[in-house]
Structure 1
């Protein structure tokens, strides 16, 4: 008998067809009839495909585990993070007089005496990643800063020689010149001395922000590190922080006001208000350019700041990179997807009659900005989105604790954000609370639908609260912007109290770092004569 409908096909053939569908298409088919619903619910491949997407993960193509095993591991990982129940704890000593460190792709790296680098591969019992550590005893140059990308075995070392900046492209594991780098393995840039670095890597792109300590002049340089070609050279006092929004879009945090020239083209001119600029690297040229001459793709404006308001510091963070993939040697069953990420803007602001200092945190799901970018007609540039067009319902703006450190911006990973709250009158002493905010859009939609079906309960196993009520800046924080600011984007909030190991222990921690399989408590030299890192592994 010839099949007349989809459900008449043999199960084996139906499974092969569904394997090639996007999870959204699988869910649409599931809603067609009870037969397809039963097929999807009973097929481990389909359940894995759906749960992987809802968890914000992608499949590990190098893993040899069965789909059933991967699904079980995914459920273990999800439950562990829901309950903030780590499987192990390990303390490692911190290097004294260390000027810089990096956390990327499950690898923690720390510099010592500007010539030595220590690396730790963070473990995961759930995903089967083993602890590993290694050291490059002498990299051969004096390091001003460094960046890493474990997926490409890439180590980028910044060396300053007067006004010459040399970016050395090395292997993380051997310290030798990276085999994919241009001849010589060095990129060169001329700049003013006395500056700080921000180094980010996304596939073939290496982006470096150099900020002058004295004048606050900044330069953002983007190379194709495999060819050595300069793609962007942006210079301005208003260039403050950046991330890769996609593999070809850079998101820039800057000051500026939208202006229109004689031919109707929008520019971002000098100004005191905050904005996010999207730069398309496929449209840039290697010539030096200022922000007000930049051919940007689009801009997202924040509300107007009050006249009696001064931004002391601000930073934009997101991790991992949009196209990041773990090293094939790890053979992980699954890893975090770059499709949905959380962008976090942290602002330290003096405001009001007495110039009170407050810290604000702006949480922006990447889908908010990317959906706006995708709405642009082909070829259009210079589009400006007002705060009301994107920020009110597409983000969350909240007051942060004063101890939230801008100097250690590894508090965001994937769609999650972590911070620690100290209730004690003695700042930063045990016990304190770890909070994790999760802005995963698919998980939120599922939970909110479940909540409606169950008559208003959270529908999330009572181990995470859904914050769905609005946030309004009130009290003295209402003096930061000209108008009242209210935001609505929902999120999960999870919290756990961290006790001391025993009643006699009083340990100071001054930062909390977040990775895919770990929370890392930092006890630095500023608060501890014997600095160390406490790694909580999931």
Structure 2
């Protein structure tokens, strides 16, 4: 009997050379590279050794994307150095430069589209001044920013869309006992008619009696869509949704609205005793439809509800052409605030802030009921109680995945203690790839499917940065936090705090 030869199966392991592995890794986007680094120590070691890969890794944990500027103009090592400084300074709230504007009053002052604007009325006409904000990502220090000044008919509000070179001005007038609004669609640089506008101006009646005072007017631009929001005395709200390319228009009566993109818009209101978010399809403005409704917690009924604006780009197509990197649109955070409508003089109730990924609303075709209960979709959000008097809080404002607000010391508290406490600047960072951390106080609801881990930090605002004045308002961009201080001696001070060091120079950080 001849012996049989037994064959043993074997598994051979082949080690990929570093050269081949590097070639493969260069094709990965930042999130994929980060995941590879977490799974394979060898990949992490290579990423830390090679600057182009390290740059991608840092983009991922910063929630950023590489900009369109060619690598031949700014190599990876320069981008990496800037990104590391930029990220560290934001997390530590250590700005590198302060730039102040002293604006004579009375004036309407605000920020929009990367500019500070102030409007001065002179009877039947107005002067509009625009000051561009500095940016380390665009290598544009304060000395290289652009300043524009125009004389025009009387205006009350301004909205700037830098990606379209568009500036929209709005003015309120009285017509046959009703409040009317006139809008102008102008080129940002020439102030003439915007080349894509059907006409220079558009007028409409708000159907609100002139006996009612307009408390607030806001203009929002999202591609071809525009919204004019009016808050009038008595707690009423009117929103005109307009396609400014063909002037199709429609009114909504929600408490507040916010564009997701040119196709979808969110509205928040109270219906039949329930606080809800409505998801509207506004692709055809003349026939706006409700796609779905989302119930909010019961305690949000009979409160003042507002969306928080997010100043980062909504899509990759809106990225600035001269930015070295920018906030990844898919990491954008959606925030909604709820403030009690009636607060007694003896006590106050906490404000409720809700955070979730904006991308949650990007899939309206999923198999949900038309009315989605809070117990279902609340699993995707985080709720925080702000246990401070509402009049002491300025903000919040959202930039990409970061949330900023200022807490001013209560005036009566300062007087009772005989000394002045400083205002505090606070940030909540929802990094897309966070390290595990314990939640701080105040988080009352953490949805198991939220995919968000908040990291909070704060610092006192130096008295020299605010001249000892309370912060009246603030706004934030990818490069700056802008503090609007209370008016003093006929002037309002606007302090622009800029983060990151331009490649061509360096500055001392303000800690």
Which one of 303, 310, 335 corresponds to residue 344 of structure 1?
Answer: 335
Which one of 517, 529, 533 corresponds to residue 479 of structure 2?
Answer: 517
Which one of 111, 120, 123 corresponds to residue 112 of structure 1?
Answer: 120
Distance 1:68-1:6 versus aligned 2 partners, 3 A rule: farther
Residues 180 and 205, structure 2, Cα contact 8 Å, conserved in 1 = yes
Residues 246 and 322, structure 1, Cα contact 8 Å, conserved in 2 = yes
Which one of 314, 317, 322 corresponds to residue 314 of structure 2?
Answer: 322
1:109-158 CA deviation, whole Å, 9 max, x = no partner?
1222162211111223565223224232312x221322111222210011
CA shift, 1:10, in A, is 7.9
Query: C-alpha separation between the residues in 1 aligned to 2:43 and 2:463?
Result: 52
Which one of 416, 422, 434 corresponds to residue 425 of structure 2?
Answer: 434
Query: C-alpha separation between the residues in 2 aligned to 1:360 and 1:165?
Result: 33
Give runs of aligned pairs for residues 195-234 of structure 1, distance below 5 A.
195=214, 196-213=216-233, 216-223=236-243, 225=244, 227-230=245-248, 233-234=250-251
Query: C-alpha separation between the residues in 2 aligned to 1:74 and 1:152?
Result: 27
CA shift, 1:42, in A, is 3.3
Aligned to 1:298: 292
Residues 167 and 186, structure 2, Cα contact 8 Å, conserved in 1 = yes
Query: C-alpha separation between the residues in 2 aligned to 1:432 and 1:339?
Result: 32
Residues 7 and 35, structure 1, Cα contact 8 Å, conserved in 2 = no
Q: TM-score, normalised by structure 1?
A: 0.75
Residues 392 and 486, structure 1, Cα contact 8 Å, conserved in 2 = yes
Please say which structure displays the higher CA radius of gyration: 2
Distance 1:514-1:27 versus aligned 2 partners, 3 A rule: closer
Aligned to 1:275: 276
Query: C-alpha separation between the residues in 1 aligned to 2:57 and 2:78?
Result: 15
Which one of 70, 73, 86 corresponds to residue 77 of structure 1?
Answer: 86
CA shift, 1:76, in A, is 0.4
- RMSD value, Cα: 3.5
Query: C-alpha separation between the residues in 2 aligned to 1:273 and 1:354?
Result: 27
Aligned to 1:480: none
> 2:207 aligns to what SS in structure 1?
coil
Q: TM-score, normalised by structure 2?
A: 0.79
Aligned to 1:268: none
Give runs of aligned pairs for residues 125-524 of structure 1, distance below 5 A.
125=136, 128-131=139-142, 132-139=145-152, 141-161=153-173, 162=175, 164-182=180-198, 184-193=199-208, 194=210, 195=214, 196-213=216-233, 216-223=236-243, 225=244, 227-230=245-248, 233-236=250-253, 239-256=254-271, 271-282=272-283, 284-287=284-287, 295-305=289-299, 310-311=302-303, 313-320=304-311, 321-323=313-315, 325-328=318-321, 331-350=322-341, 357-358=348-349, 360-367=351-358, 370-371=359-360, 373-374=362-363, 376-377=365-366, 383-391=370-378, 394-404=381-391, 411-423=397-409, 425-426=413-414, 429=420, 431-440=422-431, 442-444=432-434, 447-448=435-436, 467=439, 471-472=443-444, 490-501=453-464, 506-524=468-486
> 1:177 aligns to what SS in structure 2?
coil
Give the gaps of 5 or more residues in structure 2.
1-11, 500-511
Residues 241 and 285, structure 2, Cα contact 8 Å, conserved in 1 = no
CA shift, 1:96, in A, is 0.9
Distance 1:362-1:86 versus aligned 2 partners, 3 A rule: same
Distance 1:272-1:129 versus aligned 2 partners, 3 A rule: farther
Query: C-alpha separation between the residues in 1 aligned to 2:422 and 2:180?
Result: 47
Query: C-alpha separation between the residues in 1 aligned to 2:34 and 2:471?
Result: 45
Aligned to 1:57: 64
> 2:257 aligns to what SS in structure 1?
strand
> 2:108 aligns to what SS in structure 1?
coil
How many residues align? The count is 462
Residues 510 and 524, structure 1, Cα contact 8 Å, conserved in 2 = yes
Distance 1:185-1:409 versus aligned 2 partners, 3 A rule: farther
Residues 247 and 323, structure 1, Cα contact 8 Å, conserved in 2 = no
CA shift, 1:199, in A, is 1.5
CA shift, 1:410, in A, is 6.6
Q: Which has the higher contact order (CA 8 A, sep 6+)?
A: 2
Query: C-alpha separation between the residues in 1 aligned to 2:372 and 2:112?
Result: 33
Residues 54 and 443, structure 1, Cα contact 8 Å, conserved in 2 = yes
CA shift, 1:438, in A, is 1.3
Query: C-alpha separation between the residues in 2 aligned to 1:521 and 1:351?
Result: 28
Query: C-alpha separation between the residues in 2 aligned to 1:333 and 1:201?
Result: 25
Distance 1:339-1:160 versus aligned 2 partners, 3 A rule: same
CA shift, 1:197, in A, is 2.7
Query: C-alpha separation between the residues in 2 aligned to 1:235 and 1:405?
Result: 31
Residues 318 and 341, structure 1, Cα contact 8 Å, conserved in 2 = no
Query: C-alpha separation between the residues in 2 aligned to 1:372 and 1:521?
Result: 31
CA shift, 1:93, in A, is 0.8
Residues 103 and 410, structure 1, Cα contact 8 Å, conserved in 2 = no
Residues 365 and 415, structure 1, Cα contact 8 Å, conserved in 2 = no
Distance 1:186-1:434 versus aligned 2 partners, 3 A rule: same
Give the gaps of 5 or more residues in structure 1.
257-270, 290-294, 449-457, 459-465, 473-484
